Structure 1
């Protein structure tokens, strides 16, 4: 049975693909979507998969803004 989380995840991943095609894989705006996907995966208790998205977003932000940026 498909839940609202499954539906949200589908839309977030689709949105991420579009953002990556237009802005590039390492654009800071992409990190918002990565975080959203991580949150949905966390709600679904898919911790390890969520961490992949969270860590990617963190790497992008650190490379753009530096590790000391709030």
Structure 2
């Protein structure tokens, strides 16, 4: 009986360690997501400000742009 209790305590301890490690992993991933979302918002604002400062009468089409290999 004592061996079973000891085995259960060991399993419980390992499970708690695993849960704590998973919590840290989820926390780090959430930090990365938050950073990526902030960067995306920043890039979006940059694009919006560039569009606002661009000449509104200029019409750009893909034909007007030079392909990157030229």
Normalising by structure 1, report the TM-score: 0.37
Q: TM-score, normalised by structure 2?
A: 0.37
Give 1 or 2 for the bigger CA radius of gyration: 2
Question: Which structure is richer in relative contact order (CA contacts within 8 A, separation 6 or more)?
Answer: 1
